Each structure stands twice: as structure tokens, then as C-alpha cells.
Amino acid sequence: MTKKEYVMGIIDTLQQQQDLLPQNLQQLLRETKETLQSIPAETFFKHSNHVVSEPARQKAFDPDSPLFRLSEGYWELRRLAERNRESHPDFLQAVNQLDGLLGASEGYFPE
């Protein structure tokens, strides 16, 4: 399974819970999925593997990056998942998987 397929699976699981999602999150997930579908798997992996290949000031910021877009809705998704953890465990699991992707380097402080 590629990283792209993994992220697509998370989005699919989140989208299955339409009854929980406000319109803004439905739109965010739909747009992110469309963007992700247009990116080859290898390109997505290279752009999302957190490897630094050039100074930050030389790298153009991409506000349409799928992981950045998902991070914009993360805290709202997390609140919905926690509120509905008993009735929608798959939703909580998908948000936990998203947390793993977005927080990959969180808490890592090399000396």
C-alpha cells in the first residue's frame, strides 16, 4: 500500500460519516481527495515524507498540499471523533491515523 492509498483510505472512512460532518469538512475532504487523486503516488510520497532537500526560503509553500489541507480540519475532526467515539469507532480510528500522519515529528527534539 502506498502512502497515497493510505491517505485515500483515511479520507474515504471519514467521508462515510456524512451525518457527523458539517458542510465545511465535507467540502475540505472532497477537495483534498480530488487533489490527491491527481497526484502520482511517487510524487505524493516525495512531497510528504518530511525530508528537507532545500532551505525553507527557497521552497514554495503549497496551500493545496493534501496533508496541509487535512491539517486545517484536523482539530474539528478530532472533536467530532471524541464526541462520537462510542457510536462511530471507525471515524475515531481514521482520525487517529490522520494524527499519526500529521504529527509524525511532533515531540521529536534532537539535541
Residues 6 or more apart whose Cβ sits within 8 Å of residue 104 = 50
106: pLDDT strictly greater than 60: no
pLDDT at residue 96 in the model: 93
Q: How confident is the model at residue 58 (pLDDT cuts 50, 70, 90)?
A: low
Q: How confident is the model at residue 50 (pLDDT cuts 50, 70, 90)?
A: low
Query: For the stretch 6-31, what's the b/e string if a residue is b when 16 or more beta carbons lie within 10 angstroms of its beta carbon?
Result: ebbebbebbeebeebbeeebeebbee
Tell me the whole-structure pTM to 2 decimals: 0.82
